[in-house]
Amino acid sequence: MEAMKAKDAVRLSALRNAKKYIIEAKTAVHGIDELPDEEVLKILGKLAKQGTDSAAIFAEQNRQDLADEELAQVAVFKEFLPAQLSDEELTAEIGKIIARTGATSMKEMGKVMGIASKSLAGRAEGRAISAKVKELLS
């Protein structure tokens, strides 16, 4: 409502897009009235990642106007997402997971990735988690 009253077209478009995906996710699973917060955060994270990727493609194709629009929508999505972990925080969290699982080699990367992906969901990208796990297990 605030975005409509302020005539903020970018914010309104981003929020409507997010609402559409949330409603689709709710209707995909019959018998639920509300999605868990984790699912909503996953949807918002996916939208933010898609927008960032689209903006990069638009920038490559010299369409800065479209890239700016995508990045503005990504900024709206990021307002609702938890803060991303810094490199040092990510290293510390993955170090704890490795210590807890007792992993010592790259053969056990799958075990560490399974736990890390679930516990760090929404706070770090999958690529960053994977790269850090590889670095720490090597």
R_g of the chain computed on alpha carbons: 18
Q: What is the pLDDT of residue 47?
A: 92
Q: Determine the Cα–Cα distance for residues 100 and 78; give it in Å rounded to an integer.
A: 31
Predicted TM-score (pTM) of this structure: 0.71
Sequence-distant (6+) residues with CB within 8 A of 125 are 49, 84
Tokens of 55: 């903006």
Q: What is the pLDDT of residue 31?
A: 67
Q: Is residue 56 predicted with pLDDT exceeding 90?
A: yes
* Amino acid at site 37: D
**What's the rounded mean pLDDT across residues 90-104?**
88
**What's the rounded mean pLDDT across residues 42-55?**
91
Residue 59 — pLDDT band, cuts 50, 70, 90?
Answer: very high
Contact 40, 121 (CB under 8 A): no
Q: What is the pLDDT of residue 60?
A: 94
Compute φ and ψ for 33, nearest 5 degrees. Answer: -95, -35
Mean pLDDT taken over the chain: 87
In this structure, the number of other CB atoms found within 10 A of the CB of residue 102 comes to 9
**What's the rounded mean pLDDT across residues 105-120?**
86
Q: What is the pLDDT of residue 4?
A: 82
Q: Determine the Cα–Cα distance for residues 138 and 132; give it in Å rounded to an integer.
A: 10
The per-residue pLDDT for range 11-45, each reduced to its tens digit, is 899 999 999 998 888 888 776 778 888 888 888 98
